[in-house]
Amino acid sequence: MPQNFSSKNPKMSKRIKYEAYTKEIKKRFGYIITSFLFSLSICYYKATQLVFLFTSSCYTKSSLEPKINFIFTDVREAFSATLLICVVFSLFSLSLFVIYSSVCFFLPCWFLYERSGKLLIVCASFCSFIFYTLWIHLFIIPKVCDFFFAFQVQDIDCFSLLVEPRILSYVSWEVWFLVFASFIYALVCFLLFLITSGKINLAFWSKNRKSRIFSSGLLAALVSPPEFLSQLSLSLGLFVLCELIVFFAFLYSSFANKGGSKALLGCSNHLNSTNL
């Protein structure tokens, strides 16, 4: 934990403070790297169980076979998929230690009355992120796989269309799906933080609507396949999601701070100012 530079050392130079904090950051970063390597070695030791656990969302009711047979067409593909799964589980298990180390580093900088509130926010955010990730993995991804597996054909005698997914392709797709879902979660938390802290207001949000449309389209072009319909659907979904989040956040903030009548007035002003 960094030293407490209080009034006992009023003449201590900024350079000494900077060196002390830099040393503390390097020490904590070394702890994190060591913990990551240790966690990665444990995950690699139990790689078979983790691969089954990670790909368990692929087993759906639309799977025509009793089990999904993954294949790999390259010599290194199975190893790459296994290593990627081990890295994902290592980062997921290490996230609690990273948050704990960061909170302990910044804790001396907070006032006593700030600590309880910020610690509560950190704990609630971390727990909600864990449950959100598990919900995506256990419920959403199986629904998506169920949709894709429904296109299999086995009833026709002279024609069949069965799935034989490559292990690295499926693992990369699920990792991308989880990363994108985590980005949506971070976007929601960031918007709620800006609204509750008063960083943005209704006037600012209504004035910059065109820039949000452009940002949604740019983000959709970066993360989606080069298809017009998929990019259009994703950009519209992101834009509508941001609008709904901000609308309900302003509604709640208005009811909490100004009362019900002023809240309804603010919501009506927000709806009237939605001209592109």
Q: DSSP readout, 170-205?
A: HHHHHHHHHHHHHHHHHHHHHHHHHHHTTSS-HHHH
Indicate whether 2 and 137 sit together in one domain: yes
pLDDT at residue 28 greater than cutoff 80: yes
Domain that holds residue 160: 1-166
Is residue 263's pLDDT more than 70? Answer: no
Mean of pLDDT over the chain = 77
The pLDDT of residue 261 is 45
Instruction: Express each pLDDT in 203-250 by its tens digit.
Output: 676 677 777 777 777 777 776 667 777 777 777 877 787 777 777 766
Tell me the range of 76-80, 187-191, 202-206, 233-237 where mean pLDDT is highest.
76-80
Residues 6 or more apart whose CB falls under 8 angstroms from that of 105 comprise 1, 2, 24, 25, 28
Can you give the pLDDT at residue 219?
Answer: 75
For residue 109, the model assigns a pLDDT of 76
In a domain, 185, yes or no: no
Q: pLDDT at position 90, please?
A: 92
Residue 117 has pLDDT above 90, yes or no: no
- Which domain-ending residue is among 116, 147, 166? 166
Total of domains in the chain: 2
- In this prediction, what percent of the chain has a pLDDT beyond 90? 12
Alpha-helical (H) ranges within the chain are: 14-45, 47-54, 77-106, 112-135, 141-149, 167-196, 202-207, 209-223, 228-257, 260-272
**Does pLDDT of 9 surpass 70?**
no
Residue 190 lies in a domain: no
Domain check: are 126 and 233 in the same one? no
Q: How far apart are the C-alpha atoms of 276 and 274, rounded to whole Å?
A: 6
User: Do 13 and 119 fall into the same domain?
Assistant: yes
Task: Name the band, by pLDDT with cuts 50, 70 and 90, for residue 59.
Answer: confident
Does 172 fall in a domain?
Answer: no
- Given a contact cutoff of 8 angstroms between Cβ atoms, the answer to whether 25 and 105 are in contact is yes
5 and 91 inside one domain: yes
Do residues 105 and 46 share a domain? yes
pLDDT at 45: 92
- Both 6 and 54 in a single domain? yes
pLDDT at site 118: 78
Residues 144 and 242 in one domain: no
Angle, helices 167-196 vs 47-54, to 10°: value is: 70
Same domain (yes/no): 158, 207: no
The pLDDT assigned to 171 comes to: 92
Evaluate if residue 86 carries a pLDDT over 90.
Answer: yes
- Is residue 85 assigned to a domain? yes
Helix (H, G, I), strand (E, B) or coil at 126: helix
Partner residues linked to 161 by β-bridges: 153
pTM of the shown model:
0.72
Closest CA to 205 of 232, 238, 245: 245
Residue 178 maps to a domain: no
| Same domain membership, residue 211 and residue 86 | no
Q: What is the pLDDT of residue 83?
A: 93
* Residues 127-171: tens digit of each pLDDT: 888 888 888 888 888 888 888 888 877 777 777 787 788 899 999
Q: Are 162 and 64 in contact (CB under 8 A)?
A: yes
- Does residue 186 belong to any structural domain of this protein? no
Residues 99 and 207 in one domain: no
The rounded distance, in Å, linking the Cα atoms of 221 and 227 is 9
Task: Report the pLDDT value the prediction gives residue 275, as an integer from 0 to 100.
Answer: 47
Give pLDDT, residue 211. Answer: 76
CA quadruple 261, 266, 272, 274: dihedral positive or negative?
Answer: negative
The confidence score (pLDDT) of residue 194 equals 74
Boundary residue ending a domain (147, 166, 185): 166
Q: Are residues 14 and 93 in the same domain?
A: yes
- 122, 146, 166 - which closes a domain: 166
More confident residue, 47 or 235: 47
261 within domain boundaries = yes
Which sign does the torsion angle of CA 134, 138, 142, 144 carry?
negative
Q: What is the residue type of 38?
A: F
Long-range contacts, 19-26 (Cβ 8 Å, 24+)? 24/105, 25/105
Pair 156, 247 in one domain = no
Contact 132, 140 (CB under 8 A): no
Q: Is 191 within the bounds of a domain?
A: no
Q: Which two tokens stand for residue 164?
A: 């034989």
Report in angstroms the alpha-carbon separations of 131 from 69, 125, 135, 136, 238.
Answer: 29, 10, 6, 9, 22
